[in-house]
């Protein structure tokens, strides 16, 4: 499985705003559902671009396996795809747990997944790019904010009726 096959998987993970994916994000508290979806769409596009260009995971470099450079290259590509897939699945799980565990727990879980990728890649030396990690973290923050606003809206409607 190559990196190109992972591009379709990213579409189910959510979307985000490129401008807001910097380390010191400010979430617009007045934004509506349509704006939230537009931000997620832009974020999704940037994540997709990082995956297509191979910039979502960095490292790996030149590898030789059993005396073959081609086999070593395929090994690095396979490990890259596997690690990215693993991280994306963990990001999905974090998005699902936002309601129950909260944003801080989801962030810690995602950070542990990134650390595990770096540790387990061993001699291949892969790690997630800081930009891709930042986009995923921002996705969590946007989604948590959206869920919080929806809950407040439900509470307000309940009190009003």
The model's confidence at residue 67, banded by pLDDT at 50, 70 and 90, is: confident
Q: What percent of the chain has pLDDT over 90?
A: 47
Q: Are 135 and 88 in contact (CB under 8 A)?
A: no
51-55, 58-62, 67-71, 156-160: segment of lowest average pLDDT:
58-62
Task: Give the per-residue pLDDT at 31.
Answer: 53
Closest listed residue to residue 1, CA positions, set 67, 89, 83, 110: 83
pLDDT in tens, 145-156: 988 888 899 999
Greater confidence (100 vs 87) lies with: 87
**Given this model, what pLDDT does residue 66 score?**
82
pLDDT over 80 at 87, yes or no: yes
Residues 15-43: pLDDT tens digits? 333 334 433 334 444 556 788 889 999 99
Distance CA 47, CA 88 (A): 11
Banded pLDDT at 55 (limits 50, 70, 90):
very high
- Rg of the Cα trace of the chain? 18
Among 7, 13, 47, smallest CA distance to 143 is for 13
The C-alpha atoms of residue 42 and residue 141 are separated, in whole angstroms, by 15
Report the chain's terminal Cα–Cα distance, integer Å. Answer: 54
When pLDDT is cut at 50, 70 and 90, the band that residue 65 belongs to is: confident
Does 69 score more than 90 pLDDT? no
| Residues belonging to the chain | 161
């Amino acid at each position: 499985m190559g990196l190109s096959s992972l591009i379709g998987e990213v579409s189910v993970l959510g979307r985000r705003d490129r401008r807001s994916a910097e380390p010191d994000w400010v979430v617009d508290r007045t934004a509506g559902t349509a704006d939230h979806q537009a931000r997620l769409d832009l974020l999704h596009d940037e994540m997709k671009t990082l995956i297509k260009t191979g910039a979502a995971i960095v490292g790996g470099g030149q590898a030789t396996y059993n005396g073959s450079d081609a086999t070593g290259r395929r090994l690095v590509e396979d490990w890259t795809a596997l690690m990215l897939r693993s991280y994306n699945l963990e990001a999905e799980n974090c998005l699902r747990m936002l309601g129950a565990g909260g944003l801080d727990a989801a962030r810690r879980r995602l950070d542990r997944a990134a650390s595990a990728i770096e540790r387990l890649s061993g001699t291949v030396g892969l790690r997630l790019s800081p930009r891709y990690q930042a986009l995923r973290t921002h996705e969590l923050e946007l989604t948590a904010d959206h869920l919080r606003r929806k809950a407040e809206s439900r509470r307000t409607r309940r009190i009003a009726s």
